[in-house]
Amino acid sequence: MASIGIILAIAKGGAGIVRDGEKTVFIPGVIAGETVEYAVAGRLRSAWQGKLLRVLQASPQRVEPPCPHYGDCGGCNLQHMSYDEQLRSKAGILADNLRRIARYEPASPPALLGSPDERYRVKSEFQVRNGTAGFFARESHRVVAVSGCRLLPVVVQDFFLARRPELVGCEQGQLQVISNGRELAARLETAGAGEKWPSRDRAIVLDLAPFSYRCGPQQFVQANLFQLRPMLDLLEKTLATTAGATAVDLFCGGGFFTLPLAARCRDVLAVESDPDNVSALRTNLALNRVKNVRVVHGDALRTAIPEAGLVVVDPPRGGLSPRLIASLAASAAPTIVYFSCDSATFARDLRLFIQQGYQPHELTLLDNFPHSDHFEIFTVLKKRSNQ
């Protein structure tokens, strides 16, 4: 049965929220403030899901999605919004999670660092199923055979389209491509056959003077070409007040934050669990002639935290753990820099940090993922002086 409602806000996941009697229904493809006709489609993971039938009163921020695959491909879910509206929606998602989960209201809205909304992806993962190559459909493992993607650097898009005929005989696999916007490195993994394609296409270099990062397609790398420098600048601003201190870099990946830490701090402990990332970290330390970093190949969630003047954490979407947060507090680190790619787990962790005597002194939303509801968060946590 069809219902009519007004979209109250955009939730994490990109769907709009509407009240339907006692139900809270989540409807994709809408914008806050719009009046829509919808049908309740059922429950999914305890939440009521809705299907958009018609937009009765459209937002002035509604635009024609620029990609012909939008709505089928699972990579983007906000292309029906202007870019300004995407930023407003993401700021609203962050504010809601801070209020509900962290029980924290910042004194002023977080700073917003937007990005060019095309050709920004550093790393791309193409899926292959039964000779079809492209991206997974929304909430499915069906592969959409895309004709291109506006998020990819042109060199990556051209490479994929040129090599796609070679994937026709592949029953199942994943093509990983990494690019600095000029060059690329690619790796194809196929089920039962291991790695394909020649070793010459193994790595690229990201030059972010004075640092150089050698990265392979199988390693973690920050997602947005245009936000790499702003992310380093945010850390450098904090380091300007902590020069000479010892530092700990948890979930350090290939050393994106380790290198600036080593340039400013006396000693650095870098912790990473993934062997490919550890290999990249050691390569980048050698490439930049860094000698004051001790590398630990281990689980950051279980690492004993030594006394340090500064700790940087950049965990995956699952965030930190109560155990690690307690360990960080026990180490008496006066400053913790937290980069997060998930606002819900960030808010959960922030609440625990506040309980342990830390307060956010800066909060920035970095839009590393235009056209999707994902974004990055940067905060500086300071230990209260009376602790």
Q: What CATH number should be reported for the domain holding residue 309?
A: 3.40.50.150
Question: Are residues 105 and 205 both part of a single domain?
Answer: no
d(CA 168, CA 258): 41
Q: Taking 60 as the threshold, does the pLDDT of residue 162 lie above it? A: yes
Question: Are residues 134 and 45 both part of a single domain?
Answer: no
Q: Name which residue leads in pLDDT, 360 or 190.
A: 360
Question: Are residues 149 and 110 both part of a single domain?
Answer: no
pLDDT confidence bin for 243, thresholds 50/70/90: low
CA distances to 68, 95, 213, 284, 286 from 254, in Å: 35, 31, 8, 7, 12
Helices (H), 22-82: none
State which amino acid sits at residue 113: L
- Give the three-state DSSP class for 11: coil
CB 135 within 8 A of CB 146: yes
d(CA 338, CA 345): 12
Residue 199 is predicted with a pLDDT of: 45
Of 184, 209, 234, the residue at which a domain comes to its end is 209
What is the value of pTM for the model shown? 0.94
Of 17, 43, 62, the residue at which a domain comes to its end is 62
| Any domain includes 329 | yes
| Any domain includes 293 | yes
Query: In whole angstroms, what separates CA 355 from the centre of its chain?
Result: 26
Of 157, 181, 209, the residue at which a domain comes to its end is 209
CB 276: neighbour CB atoms within 10 A?
15
d(CA 245, CA 331): 14
Q: Output the CA torsion sign for 191, 197, 200, 201.
A: negative
CB 305 within 8 A of CB 246: no
Q: Output the CA torsion sign for 243, 246, 248, 252.
A: positive
Residue 91 is predicted with a pLDDT of: 97
| Any domain includes 72 | no
Q: What percent of the chain has pLDDT over 70?
A: 97
d(CA 134, CA 75): 11
Contacts of 282 (CB under 8 A, 6+ apart): 295
The Cβ-side half-sphere exposure at 86, using a 13 Å CA radius, reads: 25
Question: Are residues 261 and 303 both part of a single domain?
Answer: yes
Question: Are residues 253 and 366 both part of a single domain?
Answer: yes
Question: Are residues 269 and 197 both part of a single domain?
Answer: no
d(CA 230, CA 209): 13
Residue 128 is predicted with a pLDDT of: 93
Q: Average pLDDT of the chain?
A: 93
Contacts of 117 (CB under 8 A, 6+ apart): 83, 370, 371
CB 348 within 8 A of CB 322: no
| Any domain includes 197 | yes
| Any domain includes 76 | no
- The parent domain of residue 16 ranges over 1-62
Angle between helices 322-330 and 343-355 (to 10 degrees): 40
Question: Are residues 260 and 343 both part of a single domain?
Answer: yes
CA distances to 40, 48, 49 from 43, in Å: 9, 4, 6
| Any domain includes 373 | yes
Residue 118 is predicted with a pLDDT of: 97
| Any domain includes 220 | no
Residue range 217-223: average pLDDT? Answer: 94
Of 269, 324, 284, residue with least CA distance to 300: 324
Question: Are residues 237 and 324 both part of a single domain?
Answer: yes
Question: Are residues 230 and 130 both part of a single domain?
Answer: no
Query: In whole angstroms, what separates CA 101 from the centre of its chain?
Result: 20
Lowest mean pLDDT among 37-46, 92-101, 227-236: 37-46
d(CA 264, CA 211): 13
Angle between helices 343-355 and 83-97 (to 10 degrees): 40
| Any domain includes 79 | no
Tally of domains in the chain: 3
Q: What is the CATH number of the domain that holds 53?
A: 2.40.50.140
Lowest mean pLDDT among 37-41, 188-192, 224-228: 188-192
Question: Are residues 286 and 314 both part of a single domain?
Answer: yes
Residue range 325-338: average pLDDT? Answer: 93
Question: Are residues 25 and 155 both part of a single domain?
Answer: no
Question: Are residues 105 and 140 both part of a single domain?
Answer: no
